Chain A
Amino acid sequence: MTMDLTRRQLLQRASVIGVFTALGSTPALAEFLRAPRLIPWRNWSGGQSCLPAARLAPKNLDELTHVVHQAPGKIRPVGSAHSFSALVPTDGTLLSLSYFTGLLDHDAKTLQAEFAAGTPMSRMGTPLKDIGQALQNMADIDYQTLAGAISTSTHGTGKNFQSYSAHVCGLQLVTANGEVLDCDGMRHPEVFSAARVSLGALGVATKIRLQNRPAYRLRERQWVAKTEELLEDIDKNTRENQHWEMQVVTHSDYALSVALNETTDPATPPIPADEEGGNEFVTLIEKLDKYGSDFPDLRHTMLNSLRHIASFDDRVGDSFDIYANVRTVRFNEMEYSVPAEHGPACLREILKLIRDKDLRTWFPIEYRYVKADDIPLSMFEGRDSCSISVHQHYQMDHHNFFAAIEPIFWKYNGRPHWGKVHTLNAKHLQPLYPRWQEFLQVRQELDPSGKFLNAHLSSILGVS
């Protein structure tokens, strides 16, 4: 094979070879090749990513205020990257609070405790127990940091239990101009009210005071039942259990019902570590989908038959051990909260759509209840809610699946979880939140230049 080169091409190639030869004779090329790789940021599922100009983790308040003051472009605070929505991505400064951790202060009389805002929720249970306190409720995943959890109104389940945000009784905020604001019901009450669910758009929370309760143990009881029967018994299930939820196995007629109730019974022996978390069950359902999706009737029958082989021992332990589960299978998630009374109808419609259209999914749908609160941007503001979460394995396309389901949530006036996938913008969101302007006014006063905004926040808040 011959290659014809023009004189111009020959000169160009010779010059390139010359440059590399020159580099090779100096340490420059070697240094270039050894240069540290650019590290992108990705969220837990890998569905969100960005290449920030800087990834910083200040070690104390002085360093933090300096960063906020001096950072040239946008700043986005990040917790444990467990939000599925685009709250974090930025090409500016990504700000981690990973050095702001631990229990800072507590009051045995009021049962309040103050934590540094970057504390992972999974590291709060034991120090709280040591001072005789516990969180009033918890989500079933505890990967989040405290600041990340309250910024997105993260929640557990229980018709008489509110989200983490509703138990915040004070917080410290570093605002866009580097000012440090201590807020609570008396000091900067408007800021405090809005900052309990802030999406990280008001500033950087550095410490958070929570209203807790005395430490307690929980008994977990689980059973498999027909989804329709569980829905018919919703009032009973939610009345007789402090924390009740169900995990609906799609493409089957069954769901796993989970009830947690306070108890003084002694703790049961720990489950063998390798069996904890139920991830083997998730893997089995995944495989049934993988090999059975071309045979929907067989898959349906096999999924239904799981009830014969799944059994569950009651578990008793410290509240924080019982609430949380390890997740070894990653996923993307969409969750909407609809008025509590519409929960069963909304779920039935979703399941009918999945069945009728044979939508490709296998992850169970999570169905929970949350009590109303009074926080401007809380999904639960002014209404008792039913939260319905649909998931898709992180390697499966979630866009088409979520796009098919999302209009059903809209029909029931659903409010999307701020940290989970949705497609709404300010035009759609404003009518869902009666106190929308209250939040926007606080944001405008604290950050008129939009230092803490990224493209997603600009879209959902309707500000630039």
Chain B
Amino acid sequence: MRARRFTEQPSLCFALMVCVFAALLAGCGEEPKSPATYSEAATARPADTELAQVYDNSCKLCHANPAAGAPLTGDKKAWEPRVLQGADTLLDHAINGYNGMPPMGMCMQCSQEQFLALIAFMSGQHIQQ
């Protein structure tokens, strides 16, 4: 579905109901990210050349794209609650998928170590195994 936005001009009773419903649903979104975070995410790359190549063709497609809804690379605040869940949960979500996150994170050959290294890079935090 490509619809992009809702106006504030409901003209019917049911439209009003739907608006209220939409507002209730929208209440649990994350705080908007700053443009600085967007540009940082777009340019960040792992120092390791091989990992950088893997990152470019997998994680980056969503984690440097604000529209994807994924925590952006380098956005420590967004990553913090994820990292707190621990390496096992992070790995489980990366391998098996979680909500909008596709299984394998688009990296079909990644090892456990590579997944963790990529998560550590994106979150900017050490992942304790």
A: residues with CB less than 8 A from B are: 36-37, 39-44, 46, 49, 55-57, 78, 80-81, 94, 96, 98-99, 101, 118, 120, 122-123, 140, 143, 220, 222, 224, 247, 256, 258, 271, 273-285, 287-288, 301-302, 304-306, 308-313, 325-330, 364
Contacts and interface: CB of A to CB of B under 8 A. Distances in A.
A42 B104 contact: yes
5 contacts: A81-B108, A274-B32, A278-B4, A305-B12, A308-B9
A277 B100 CA distance: 13
A277 B67 contact: yes
B3 A41 contact: no
A214 B95 CA distance: 40
B66 A120 contact: no
A330 B96 CA distance: 13
Contacts of B91: 37
A286 to B, nearest CB: 9
B64 to A, nearest CB: 11
B108 A96 contact: yes
Contacts of A274: 29, 32-33, 66-67
B2 A80 contact: no
Chain B, interface size category, equals 35 or more
A203 B67 CA distance: 36
Contacts, number: 178
Interface of B: 1-7, 9-12, 14-15, 17-19, 21-22, 25-26, 29, 32-33, 38, 53-54, 56-58, 61-62, 65-69, 91, 95-97, 99-100, 102-104, 106-113
A330 B6 contact: no
A101 B61 CA distance: 14
Given A120-B61, A277-B67, A328-B100, A81 B106 contact: yes
B69 A328 contact: yes
A49 B103 CA distance: 10
Nearest 10 interchain pairs by C-beta: A273-B66, A42-B103, A308-B15, A305-B14, A276-B67, A57-B109, A281-B3, A328-B100, A96-B108, A311-B7
A208 B104 CA distance: 25
A309 B67 contact: no
B6 A311 contact: yes
A41 B108 contact: yes
A282 B1 CA distance: 6
